[in-house]
Structure 1
Amino acid sequence: MKLSTHLRTAAAIAATAGLLAATGCAGDAAESEPGVLNVGQISDSVAFFPLYVAEQEGYFADEGVELGERPRLGTGAKLAAALTSGSIDVGAGVLTDAFNLAESNPETQVTGSLVTDYYVDIVTASDFDGPAADAPLEERVRALEGKNIGITGPGSGTEALIVYLFEQVGLDAKTDATLVNLGAVPSSAIGALSEGQVDALAFFQPTGQMAEAEGVGDIYVSPQRGDIPDLTDPLHGALFSTSGVIEQKGEEIEAFNRAVDRALEFIQTDPEASAELLSTYLDGTDPEAVEALNEILPQEFATSSQVSESAFDTAVDFHLESQLIDEAPDYDSLVWSQVQE
């Protein structure tokens, strides 16, 4: 990882871990009784829908998993800090978060796969003055030069996509655009777009679908629909933990993964029931956006929690090219042996 990014992420992890300790949250996992698994996630983005399905369909209970805390922590840095402090046992985030954590904590282990599509889109305001969404990719990326672009935060998968795209056309996202940190709430990001605070968003689904349904924006670049050929089928949404937690709660994590596997199968095989759950998961979201999402979910979710080496390698190449890491992480070292294919 580039030194500046590493220091920034490490500082965020350290600061958040300190806050958790100061508020008495640190050590919750270590003190919890065996069998209780505390799982934190960044947000209620579509990537973590399988966890909701497993909860609602009773799969966790069926597999004997007793879930404890389920905080929504907002950023990958806070998710990593919660793992570092011991307040959660498993983090549900993106692979970028696991790579960042591994830089400061060699015990980091990827424990499961959720999404094998890059589910971040570039969304432009409805009055965006640039080439059409079906124009060559380079033309669309160059149209973003000099613009204010909303991201969830530094060191995130949303920032990574902008950095990667700009790099592909010889631009530097840090100097050739203004990246605006908006946090992880889609409605707030859409508000910033509609009010002209930003010209575009690099944001996770369902932000783009919501913006289109509300008539305030358009999905301009989408890895999921094949706009970026070199970013096809990467591991993106992921579960991760540490070897210390695995040593204590490996059986619970395996049971958790079995429940997630059942949820992934449910999404693949029962689209009507999946759509009903998705509408409650994304409560308040325009039905048009929910329908658009439900159509593509089977394509982007992993078929199981097993971590494909090819999907891992595609993600590594993306992180190298977007300059988020300097060296390729080793699949055998970073991925828990129980979920290696």
Structure 2
Amino acid sequence: MTRARAPRSRTAAPRVPILRTRPRPAALSVLILTTLLLAVTGCAQRSSTTPPGVLNVGQISNSLAFFPLFVAEQKGYFAEEGVKLGERPRLGTGAKVAAALKSGSIDLGAGVMTDALNLARIDDKGRLVANLVDRYYVDVVVGTSFAGATPSDPLDQRIRALRGKKIGITGPGSGTEALVTYLFAKTGMNSATDSELVNLGSTAAAALGALKAGRVDALAFFQPIAQQATAAGIGVRFISPAAGDVPGLERTSHGVVFTTQRIIDKKPKEVAAFQNALGRAQRFIHQADTAEIIRLLGVYLKGIDPKALTELPALMRSEIPESIGFPRSSFDAAIAFHRTTGLVKHLPSYEQIVPPALRANAT
């Protein structure tokens, strides 16, 4: 005789939100990057897979740091300098950019200094190619109903108001996580245990949606997130290193293009042409009519509220250098920042990661 089975419960097990992450120590973020690189490359160190005259360039997203690449494309500078850009994937996180670079699917990666330093940690031939943004261009944005502190309160009070809150970041090991880690450490807190970091990816619309819906209390996100939140009436800029809110981060190499010495050796003319075009684009941003910059930004940041565009030209001119070189003081500030966060171990020296030409051009 067959025993009757007990009826199954109709109540589904509670779902774990896919965006939310458990607090993780900094060492785990580094481990994630290393694991991803090994999984993608199988421990191999591949060189370029593109034909002569072509460079594949991957970047995290369409944040303000990578606007010079767009300008160089739109103005035809790459073609005039003698290099063709092949695939231009938006890869979402710096870890994926580094993995693609390591695998040979891209030749140059556009990310943040955290990504370049992490690559140099596991590959002593990692090299910087261009300085895109010379300020820490991640802002902390809070919802309009956020309580505990206001944007005009002292910095320590604003940081402490984030304790116990859900903070949206792009992903683990990112420059967005690094800022939260750094700010919490300044007040004796630990972001891994004193907050809940929520991985939102690199799409601004998704991040703003999470803030509006209350899935997060704050965002640590790349510019122009604050301008977009203000224009939409869902948030305000709370902490901005680029605006001078955080002592020690007034000038620091942050948005960068990086590669490996193997690519530089294999494609020296292409890399030099890329650098020349990018330098021209950065000078254009400083010299062009503001209306033209706003027009280009409207194309680059598709769907952005026009009200969010008005302050961006002046903002970019204060952050994007006219030279692609790396001032020693800005590099040292970036190293000090990453030493404090603990997100990157075995930090490289200026002479190791900055090619000689980019030291001479640093002004």
- TM > 0.5: yes
Partner SS for 2:310: helix
Letter in 2 for 1:15: A
**Do the aligned residues in 2 keep the contact of 1:282 with 1:290 (CA within 8 Å)?**
no
**Do the aligned residues in 1 keep the contact of 2:65 with 2:132 (CA within 8 Å)?**
yes
Count of equivalent residues: 334
Letter in 1 for 2:61: S
Partner SS for 1:291: coil
Equivalent of residue 245 in structure 2, options 198, 205, 227: 227
Please state if 1:8 is matched with 2:48: no
Partner SS for 1:6: helix
Which residue in 1 is equivalent to 2:196? 178
Structure 2: distance between partners of 1:229 and 1:195: 32
Give the C-alpha shift of residue 327 in structure 1: 4.1
**Do the aligned residues in 2 keep the contact of 1:266 with 1:274 (CA within 8 Å)?**
no
Structure 1: distance between partners of 2:168 and 2:30: 21
Give the C-alpha shift of residue 295 in structure 1: 2.4
TM-score by length of 1: 0.94
Structure 2: distance between partners of 1:60 and 1:39: 12
Structure 2: distance between partners of 1:31 and 1:81: 14
Root mean square deviation of aligned Cα: 1.7
Please state if 1:42 is matched with 2:66: no
Please state if 1:145 is matched with 2:169: no
Letter in 2 for 1:304: S
Equivalent of residue 215 in structure 2, options 194, 197, 222: 197
Which residue in 2 is equivalent to 1:187? 205
Which one has a larger percent helix, Structure 1 or Structure 2? 1
Which residue in 1 is equivalent to 2:357? 338
**Do the aligned residues in 1 keep the contact of 2:169 with 2:197 (CA within 8 Å)?**
yes
Structure 2: distance between partners of 1:86 and 1:3: 26
Structure 1: distance between partners of 2:282 and 2:49: 31
Structure 2: distance between partners of 1:308 and 1:261: 15
* More divergent stretch after superposition (231-240 vs 7-16): 7-16
Equivalent of residue 57 in structure 1, options 67, 71, 75: 75
Give the C-alpha shift of residue 269 in structure 1: 0.9
**Do the aligned residues in 1 keep the contact of 2:114 with 2:344 (CA within 8 Å)?**
no
**Do the aligned residues in 2 keep the contact of 1:16 with 1:78 (CA within 8 Å)?**
no
> What per-residue deviation string (whole Å, max 9, x for no partner) do you get for residues 31-67 of structure 1?
4221111111111111100000000011111101111
Give the C-alpha shift of residue 307 in structure 1: 1.4
**Do the aligned residues in 1 keep the contact of 2:121 with 2:347 (CA within 8 Å)?**
no
Structure 1: distance between partners of 2:228 and 2:135: 19
Letter in 1 for 2:70: Y
Identity within the alignment, %: 49
* More divergent stretch after superposition (47-56 vs 286-295): 286-295
Partner SS for 2:283: helix
Structure 1: distance between partners of 2:39 and 2:230: 37
Structure 2: distance between partners of 1:180 and 1:253: 37
**Do the aligned residues in 2 keep the contact of 1:80 with 1:91 (CA within 8 Å)?**
yes
Give the gaps of 5 or more residues in structure 2: 1-24
Partner SS for 1:8: helix
Structure 1: distance between partners of 2:252 and 2:176: 15
> What per-residue deviation string (whole Å, max 9, x for no partner) do you get for residues 296-331 of structure 1?
110000111111111111111111111223444200
Structure 2: distance between partners of 1:297 and 1:88: 27
**Do the aligned residues in 1 keep the contact of 2:49 with 2:105 (CA within 8 Å)?**
no
Which residue in 1 is equivalent to 2:310? 291
* More divergent stretch after superposition (148-157 vs 60-69): 60-69
**Do the aligned residues in 1 keep the contact of 2:117 with 2:347 (CA within 8 Å)?**
no
Which residue in 2 is equivalent to 1:86? 104
Give the C-alpha shift of residue 5 in structure 1: 3.4
TM-score by length of 2: 0.89
